[in-house]
Amino acid sequence: MKGFRKFVLRGNVVDLAVAVVIGAAFGTVVQALVKDLITPLLGAFGGVPDFSALFFTVNTSKFLIGDFINAVLAFVLLAVIVYYLVVLPVERLMDRFAPTSAPPASTRECPFCLSRIPVKARRCAFCTSDVEDKVQTAIDHIAGQTS
């Protein structure tokens, strides 16, 4: 029981529960918006005042295509609202506070033993090789090949 109490009282579990409840309530509001406002508005242009009344039958089976259209409209509207009111603002916020460039490297590899050593080191602490002369020689060699 102690472990269950610890699990339930963790912050992310409570946050998730609140999000589910608010999401369900928001979904109900969007469904009502589609059924009571958007569908009649679209029906005024298409001549069908309520999509939920649309159906067809096959061998006495009734297919409620209007309810499906209402559900698709509710889903699309909910996805658009979530994208523009949640996803885009969070992405902009993350971009604003994200680091613009990587910090300069504070270490480099020793060309002899491949250990990580400070950038300003002239001698490797692991293999005691003189690394500054070798690195400069390698840089000069590479620069000579490209010119």
pLDDT tens digit at each of 147 positions of the chain: 888 777 777 767 777 888 899 888 988 888 888 778 877 787 777 776 667 778 889 998 888 888 888 788 888 888 888 888 888 988 898 888 877 777 778 888 888 888 898 888 888 888 888 887 555 566 665 666 654
Do 135 and 82 share a domain, yes or no? no
For residue 146, the model assigns a pLDDT of: 53
Q: Which pTM value belongs to this model?
A: 0.50
Both 66 and 121 in one domain: the answer is no
* Statement to judge: residues 59 and 129 lie in one domain: no
Distances (CA, A) of 29 to 11, 83, 88, 118, 123: 27, 17, 22, 60, 69
Q: Tell which of 59, 75, 97 closes a domain.
A: 97
- Residue 143: the pLDDT is 63
Please give the full DSSP string across 50-87, using - where no structure is assigned.
-GGG--EEETTEEE-HHHHHHHHHHHHHHHHHHIIIII
- Same domain, yes or no, for 45 and 86? yes
For residue 30, is it within any domain? Answer: yes
d(CA 47, CA 95): 46
Does residue 90 sit in the same domain as residue 122? no
- Asked, for residue 102, whether it belongs to a domain, the answer is no
Residues 119 and 65 in one domain: no
**Same domain membership, residue 67 and residue 11:** yes
Domain that holds residue 82: 2-97
Q: Is residue 84 part of a domain?
A: yes
- Secondary structure (3-state) at 107: strand
Based on the fold, state whether residues 25 and 78 are members of the same structural domain. yes
- What total number of domains does the chain contain? 2
